[in-house]
Amino acid sequence: MFAARQSFGLFQKRAFSASASNASKVAVLGAGGGIGQPLSLLMKLNPRVTQLALYDIRGGPGVAADLSHINTNSTVTGYDPTPTGLKDALAGSEIVLIPAGVPRKPGMTRDDLFNTNASIVRDLAKAAAEAAPNANILVIANPVNSTVPIVAEVFKSKGVYNPKRLFGVTTLDVVRASRFISQVKTTDPANEEVPVVGGHSGVTIVPLLSQSNHADIEGEARDALVNRIQFGGDEVVKAKDGAGSATLSMAFAGARFAESLLKASQGVKGVVEPTFVDSPLYKDQGVDFFASRVELGPNGVETINPVGKVSAYEEKLLGAALEDLKKNIKKGVDFVKANP
């Protein structure tokens, strides 16, 4: 009982310190879905969030009513696709999380989702460009390698593109990498950090084991671990057997990224997260977006860290990733040009 009261007190203090001068509205688009619901729950539990706006084509108000009974200070409002629903959800948001879109079924690649999700993301981006042009846009909907360029093109077409405020959420890849390596080495995942660069699908996911605590993993063990990190999403798709893809681990990862961004915007220095952004690192090779470790700040992207020293094996992985990334990015850009 005493311990519970103590932790409540601590929570209240943190909530207080993040309130008033740091009003932070977070909008979740696709809030009724498998990711949207637990992600919204985690945002409701985050004391840095003062206002939570939950939009979905179905179920937004229901999820909002449910979460609104949780005794944290933030207000929660749900929105349906009424004529002003989406606009009202977006207005004044500091962070817009986009998990709206269909998930994979067994046998599908993330690119197979393009035909459905490209137009969903394009339309949500249009609304965001109009109602929340200065928000940080966090794209979760797959295929991330293409949906992020789609949002960029839409914002460009509306004259409000700020590359520092657009993020493809690749946090789940580093969360997995840290967990999987800890299983191989029987260590605490809290102490394991494996940089993962590139993009968010198959071979575009490039784990840099040489930069982890375990650069000594070689041969078959290394190949198996790299493969598991690259295709971790498939494990969940297979296990769910037609009922979707990762939702709970993704909500955890999305909430971690949003918290990092809020922390950075509230003045905490040295906040670094991997994320897929408009990046100078491989532009000379025709790859305009790339995931690497990015320092976050009040203006969004502060510093894009280079990939750093990699092994010959990782150099090869990077080569394959860049090939695919170029195609995935072009597909997103071409889609908006052909279907504005």
Q: How far is the CB of 311 from ligand NAD (least distance, A)?
A: 25
Is 69 catalytic? The answer is no
Stated length of the chain: 340
Return the residue of 44, 110, 122, 126 that touches ligand LMR, per CB under 6 A. Answer: 110
Asked if 194 contacts 229 with a C-beta cutoff of 8 angstroms, the reply is yes
Is 228 a binding residue for ligand LMR by CB under 6 A? The answer is no
Q: Which residues of 293-331 are buried (b: 16+ CB within 10 A; e: fewer)?
A: bbebbeebbbebeebeebeeebeebbeebbebbbebbeb
Is 127 a binding residue for ligand LMR by CB under 6 A? The answer is no
Q: How far is the CB of 280 from ligand LMR (least distance, A)?
A: 25
- Residue 173 burial (CB count, 10 A): 28
Residue list for the binding site: 30-36, 56, 104, 110, 117, 140-142, 176, 250
Strand, coil or helix: 292: strand
Q: Which stretch binds ligand NAD (CB under 6 A): 125-133, 138-146, 184-192, 211-219?
A: 138-146
Q: How far is the CB of 100 from ligand NAD (least distance, A)?
A: 3
**Structure tokens, 268:** 């905490």
Nearest in space to 32 (alpha carbons), one of 41, 19, 21, 20: 41
Is 98 a binding residue for ligand LMR by CB under 6 A? The answer is no
Q: Which stretch binds ligand NAD (CB under 6 A): 30-38, 68-76, 213-221, 315-323?
A: 30-38
Backbone dihedral region for residue 298 (phi beyond 0: left; psi -120 to 50: alpha; all else: beta): alpha
Active site amino acids: 200
Interface with ligand NAD (CB under 6 A): 29-30, 32-36, 55-58, 99-104, 113, 117, 120, 124, 140-142, 144, 169, 172, 200, 244-247, 250
